[in-house]
Amino acid sequence: MIIVLKPNMNEKDLAPIYNLAKSRGLITQDIIGESTRMIGLAGDTASLSPDDLMLFPCVDRIIKVQEPYKLAGRKFHPEDSVFDISGRKIGDGSFTVMAGPCSVESEEQILNIAADVKASGADFLRGGAFKPRSSPYSFMGLGLEGLELLKIARSKTGLPIVSEIMSIEYLDVFARDVDIIQIGTRNMQNFTLLQEIGKLKKPVLLKRGFAATIDEWLMSAEYIMAGGNDQVILCERGIRTFETATRNTLDLSAVPVLKQKSHLPVIVDPSHATGFWNLVAPMSLAAAACGADGLIIEVHNDPAHALCDGAQSLTPEAFDELAQTVRAVLPYAARGE
Ligand code: PEP
Ligand code: MN
């Protein structure tokens, strides 16, 4: 529900509205435009009748918001969200590149890759410490040791780090140690995890569930935001379809759809979407062209011997070429509507 205020209203007339909303357990969001001021209400708004709200002299009219996601939706927040994460802006029209191995394997491996991707212009270092694997017999990551190695790589290169959390058990460690907490495709609807992440003041990279609709994905963002954490970055990483030529099907139309529906930054993961290193560059260029705010790309110094996802990992040389090429597409990228 959105309360549109009269143009000549007085600031002090608003307090009773905020108090009423609070007493019903609703979240309020100020929407301040050039000539109009509005208050968005999120939560169980059934407890408030539009007729009652119209009794306040400063209220001009009430707009019902159909979408179930309010805080993640554009209606409540017409401007693009821009986050400043460890000194790097995302969502401001610049193009953010996150790169690194699927999994942290050793100190030497992560330091080498971190130095290489930094030299190629990456903005963030990615690396899995806790890996969600389809088989219980596969390498599951180095766990806390992996996070320690990422921290060493960050201190040597200055690159902020992105890593996936799997369980609320390590919430405090992730809140303290990483710059962006990644929620993987398999946990997009782990609502307990989303609620706990919502209590943090920490940027989150929320990957799309491999069988989730865009609206379901936005509802997961809403879970995090309803807890008070508004720094959510959406990551399209491919969905499962009947096609088997690629690991998943990269739904690039999700990028402009999300730009219409939401104010949150959107990045694309062509590595998990395609599953093949030689498809990563073309889909990265396409992602840049259709208005994505950035990419997250798997890079490995020895893909043939990677402990996880070697087939889709770029060598540092291939990543370097892509990083330079993608910048050439950006001036032609679609932005906004
Ligand atoms: C990853 O980024 O390491 C990962 C496991 O991705 P996804 O959750 O998209 O499969
Ligand atoms: Mn991977």
Using DSSP bridges, classify how beta strands 232-236 and 27-32 pair: parallel, antiparallel or unpaired: unpaired
Report the share of the chain in percent with pLDDT over 90: 94
- CA angle (70 as vertex; 252, 250 as ends), nearest 5: 10
Please give the distance of CA 228 from its chain centroid, rounded to a whole number: 15
For the CA of 186, the closest atom of ligand 1 is 8
Tell me what pLDDT residue 267 has: 98
Mean pLDDT, residues 291-308: 98
Contact 102, 64 (CB under 8 A): no
Instruction: Say how many Å lie between the CA of residue 184 and the centre of ligand 1.
Output: 5
Report the share of the chain in percent with pLDDT over 70: 99
Evaluate if residue 316 carries a pLDDT over 90.
yes
First to last CA, the chain: 24
User: pLDDT tens digits for 187-221?
Assistant: 999 999 999 999 999 999 999 999 999 999 999 99
Tell me what pLDDT residue 8 has: 87
Tell me what pLDDT residue 337 has: 47
User: pLDDT tens digits for 226-249?
Assistant: 999 999 999 999 999 999 999 999
Mean pLDDT, residues 92-109: 97
- The answer for 309, left when phi > 0, alpha when psi is -120 to 50, beta otherwise, is left
Tell me what pLDDT residue 250 has: 98
Evaluate if residue 336 carries a pLDDT over 60.
no
Which residue's CA is the closest to the ligand 1 atom numbered 4?
184
Which residue's CA is the closest to the ligand 1 atom numbered 3?
102
For the CA of 185, the closest atom of ligand 1 is 8
Of 322, 321, 308, 310, residue with least CA distance to 146: 308
Contact 3, 62 (CB under 8 A): yes
Of 224, 220, 231, residue with least CA distance to 85: 231
Q: Which residues line ligand 1 at a C-beta cut-off of 6 Å?
A: 102, 128, 132, 164, 184-185, 207, 237, 269, 272
The CATH architecture of the domain made up of 2-63 is 2-Layer Sandwich (3.30)
Neighbours of 332 (CB within 10 A): 8
Q: Please give the Cα distance from 233 to 142 (Å, whole number).
A: 25
Tell me what pLDDT residue 335 has: 66
Cα dist. 21→41, 53, 60, 75 in Å? 8, 10, 17, 18
Q: Which ligand lies nearest to the CA atom of residue 308 in the structure?
A: 2
Mutation test residue for ligand 1: of 207, 210, 236, 239, the one with most atoms within 8 Å of CB: 207
- The residue whose two tokens read 């907490």 is 181
Residue count (the chain): 337
Q: Which ligand lies nearest to the CA atom of residue 184 in the structure?
A: 1
Tell me what pLDDT residue 132 has: 92
Instruction: Say how many Å lie between the CA of residue 278 and the centre of ligand 2.
Output: 15
Contact 208, 236 (CB under 8 A): yes
Of 139, 134, 138, 161, residue with least CA distance to 150: 161
List the structure tokens of 219. 């509802």
Instruction: Say how many Å lie between the CA of residue 102 and the centre of ligand 2.
Output: 4
Q: How confident is the model at residue 137 (pLDDT cuts 50, 70, 90)?
A: very high
CATH code of 83-334, in short, is 3.20.20.70
For the CA of 102, the closest atom of ligand 1 is 3
User: pLDDT tens digits for 253-267?
Assistant: 999 999 999 999 999
Q: What is the mean pLDDT of the chain?
A: 96
Tell me what pLDDT residue 222 has: 98
Contact 272, 235 (CB under 8 A): no
Q: Please give the Cα distance from 81 to 261 (Å, whole number).
A: 13
Instruction: Say how many Å lie between the CA of residue 236 and the centre of ligand 2.
Output: 14
Domain boundary assignment for the chain? 2-63, 83-334
